[in-house]
Structure 1
Amino acid sequence: MYTPPHFREDDPAALRAIIRAARLATLVTMGEGGLTATPLPLLAEEGPEGLRLIGHLARANPQWRGFDPAIPALALFQGPEAYVSPSWYATKAETHKVVPTWNYVAVHAYGRLEVVEEPDALHAIVSRLTDHHESGRATPWAVTDAPPDFIRAQLKGIVGVVLHVDRLEGKRKLSQNRNEADRAGVRQGLSASADPRDRAVGEMV
């Protein structure tokens, strides 16, 4: 990911927070057929060997069979993002030498991809993902709420994936390259938007 120094995010805690806040990732692998990408939720877990990301793919998805294990896999996490109008810049009134841009937060995670087919390990991955996403509900659903034979049948249709992360790249492009008056205009413009995604970026600028 191209990251000029003023947009680079290197703090491990901040990078992990961005990953955990992202609702959906994109898993990218390389194989004989070229690049393959699948959108999927990935859960970040810390272990003795460091950060790992767990999830699952449909067994019918050729990605889990076709990737080259010698080439690192890549998980893309997109944080808040928004269009930035040049009309918000104070510089526009002074010189008119301004153009539109896009503000965003992103993390790229690289590492070794492991495929999990063993039923108990796969059941554990699905359970942890479910518990994570159900945790905020008044009456959370659990995998154990469904009949065991039904769950066993469902597990036959998927494979687990674990990305053992060895490198993180982070970027916060939030108008750091503009002067304070321009940044104030961006904050004001985004904060006035009816779109909550824009307002979220405005709070970060």
Structure 2
Amino acid sequence: MFIPKYYKVTDFEKIKEFINANSFGTVVTTEKGKPIATHIPLHLNKNGEEYYITGHIAYGNRQWRTFDTCEEVLVIYQGPHAYISSSWYGHENVPTWNYQAVHIYGKATILEEEELKDDLAQLLKKYEKHRKAPILWDNLSSQLLEREIKGIVGFKIKINEIQAADKLSQNRNEGDYLSIIKHLKKEENPMSQQVADIMENRLEKDK
């Protein structure tokens, strides 16, 4: 991913926070030279000093069969994004787009059945524990779990490289930056308002 120096993120704690908040990612591999992708929820795990991305896909999805043949897998995470009109600047310029994104590269391997069960239990806990009637691994019948688990393939991706970008108008002067926030908040698109909030929070942290 091309990342100008203004927008490059190297703070791993911030990257982890972003991944956990935007964990529905895209897994990209190649099959006979053609890129293929799957959009799925993913989980960031640590084992010793190593970090892994884990997830699962349908057994009928041929992408899992490419894990052995691909030297590296690309995982893409994206946050809210918004169009930035140059009419919001105090000088002549061209429009652009603000966004947050993380690219992760690593080697993928297939999870053993017990590893997959543990990963699924963690996934359910993450998204269900706060609900009034949570659906957790231990609440489901063994018959249902055994049937469903046969239809999926779990995987883990050992992280070898991380590229992270926060393109949030950091290269603009204070007046333009505040103007962008103001105009984004007026947009009807909810993601534009989310980008405004992120930019505003960044400004508060820098004070």
Q: For residues 112 and 173 of structure 1, what CA distance do their matches in structure 2 show?
A: 28
Structure 1 residues 78-124: Cα deviation after superposition (integer angstroms, max 9, x where no partner): 01211112221122xxxxx32221100011111110112x3322211
Q: How far off is 1:45 after superposition?
A: 1.2
Contact 1:115/1:160 (<8 A) preserved = yes
Give the 5 Å matches for 1:123-202. Answer: 123-202=117-196
The two structures have a TM-score, normalised by structure 2, of 0.90
Contact 1:32/1:68 (<8 A) preserved = no
Q: How far off is 1:194 after superposition?
A: 3.4
Q: Which amino acid aligns with 2:43?
A: L
Secondary structure at the aligned position of 2:116 is classed as helix
Aligned-residue identity in percent: 34
Q: Match for residue 94 of structure 1?
A: none
1:85 aligns with 2:73: no
- Give the RMSD, CA atoms, in angstroms: 1.5
Q: Match for residue 74 of structure 1?
A: 74
Q: For residues 15 and 66 of structure 2, what CA distance do their matches in structure 1 show?
A: 29
Contact 2:25/2:77 (<8 A) preserved = yes
Give the 5 Å matches for 1:2-81. Answer: 2-81=2-81
Q: For residues 115 and 46 of structure 2, what CA distance do their matches in structure 1 show?
A: 17
Q: For residues 187 and 70 of structure 2, what CA distance do their matches in structure 1 show?
A: 46
Q: For residues 12 and 78 of structure 1, what CA distance do their matches in structure 2 show?
A: 16
Q: Which runs of 5+ in 1 are unaligned?
A: 92-96
Q: For residues 34 and 190 of structure 2, what CA distance do their matches in structure 1 show?
A: 37
Q: Match for residue 121 of structure 1?
A: 115
Q: For residues 144 and 7 of structure 1, what CA distance do their matches in structure 2 show?
A: 43
Q: Match for residue 108 of structure 1?
A: 103
Secondary structure at the aligned position of 1:8 is classed as coil
Q: For residues 58 and 73 of structure 1, what CA distance do their matches in structure 2 show?
A: 17
Secondary structure at the aligned position of 1:9 is classed as coil
